[in-house]
């Protein structure tokens, strides 16, 4: 396929299915502004709206075949995806807030165990120090995969690195992390490095 600026939505979807990053970039150029505007209007939060845009285009990258040009335009498809993700985020946030409020009320009613809290804070501090001691590329891959909840493939896309490289960085980082925690007198749960 030649220049994509004049390509149809269907042609873009086919090119994206062939892992053409320039096709995804063209789809993003055409539609990201509308997707962001909708997400911003629903969520009323700039950062979360930006996350929704990223999720929508990441989903397009991973499953371009979900777009059916016979059912509508790519813009309409992406807007429907953005609206669904934004509403899900609102519901999730509301549910989380209710859960946190219940937990806060419950924890106020319970007698705090200061010793356990001090131990938890100490362990959390040692874990944070061990993570910060990792090389930046390993730390970022681990943060995205374990703290961000992304798959290896999503981490590879986010870091613009081959999936095998990402897996190696995570594996190497986990080994370093395990060694750092062992030096601090802690053990990581789980026996696998992957």
Average pLDDT over residues 138-156: 85
Residue 189's pLDDT is 59
**Helix, strand, coil content of the chain in percent (nearest 5):** 75, 0, 25
Percent of the chain whose predicted confidence (pLDDT) is above 70? 91
Average pLDDT over residues 2-28: 91
- pLDDT tens-digit map of 114-125: 777 777 777 777
* 136, 178: one domain: yes
The residue segments making up the domain with residue 64 are 9-92
Residue 193: helix, strand or coil by DSSP?
coil
Residue 73's pLDDT is 94
194 within domain boundaries:
no
Check if the beta carbon of residue 39 is closer than 8 Å to that of residue 86. yes
- pLDDT tens-digit map of 28-81: 999 999 999 999 999 999 999 999 999 999 999 999 999 999 999 999 999 999
- The two three-digit tokens of residue 96, written as one number: 């989380």
Residue 63: CA atoms inside 13 Å, Cβ hemisphere, count? 9
* Secondary structure letter of residue 4 according to DSSP: S
* 77, 124: one domain: no
Residue 194 has pLDDT above 50, yes or no: no
Average pLDDT over residues 125-144: 84
- Which residues, other chains included, contact 167 with Cβ-Cβ below 8 Å and sequence gap of 6+? 152, 194
* Cα torsion 17, 22, 23, 27: sign: positive
Residue 1 has pLDDT above 70, yes or no: no
Residue 1: helix, strand or coil by DSSP?
coil
Query: What is the separation of C-alpha 189 from the centre of its chain, rounded to a whole number of angstroms?
Result: 23
64 within domain boundaries:
yes
13 within domain boundaries:
yes
* 88, 145: one domain: no
Report how far apart, in Å, the C-alpha atoms of 163 and of each of 10, 25, 140, 158 are: 27, 20, 14, 11
- Which residues, other chains included, contact 131 with Cβ-Cβ below 8 Å and sequence gap of 6+? 139, 142, 143, 177
Total domains present in the chain: 2
* 122, 176: one domain: yes
* Secondary structure letter of residue 64 according to DSSP: G
Residue 108's pLDDT is 63
The overall average pLDDT reported for the chain is 86
């Amino acid at each position: 396929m030649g220049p994509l600026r004049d390509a149809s939505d269907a042609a873009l979807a086919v090119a994206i299915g062939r892992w053409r990053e320039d096709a995804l970039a063209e789809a993003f150029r055409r539609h990201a502004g509308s997707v962001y505007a909708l997400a911003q209007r629903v969520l009323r939060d700039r950062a979360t709206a930006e996350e929704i845009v990223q999720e929508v285009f990441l989903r397009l990258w991973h499953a371009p075949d979900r777009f059916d040009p016979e059912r509508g335009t790519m813009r309409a498809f992406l807007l429907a995806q953005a609206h669904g993700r934004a509403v899900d985020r609102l519901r999730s946030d509301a549910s989380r807030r209710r859960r946190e409020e219940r937990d806060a009320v419950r924890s106020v009613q319970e007698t705090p165990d200061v010793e356990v809290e001090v131990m938890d804070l100490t362990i959390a501090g040692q874990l944070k120090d061990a993570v910060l001691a990792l090389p930046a590329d390993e730390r970022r891959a681990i943060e995205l995969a374990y703290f961000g909840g992304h798959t290896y493939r999503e981490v590879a896309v986010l870091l613009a690195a081959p999936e095998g490289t990402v897996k190696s960085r995570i594996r190497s980082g986990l080994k370093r992390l395990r060694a750092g925690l062992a030096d601090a007198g802690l053990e990581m749960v789980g026996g696998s490095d992957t």
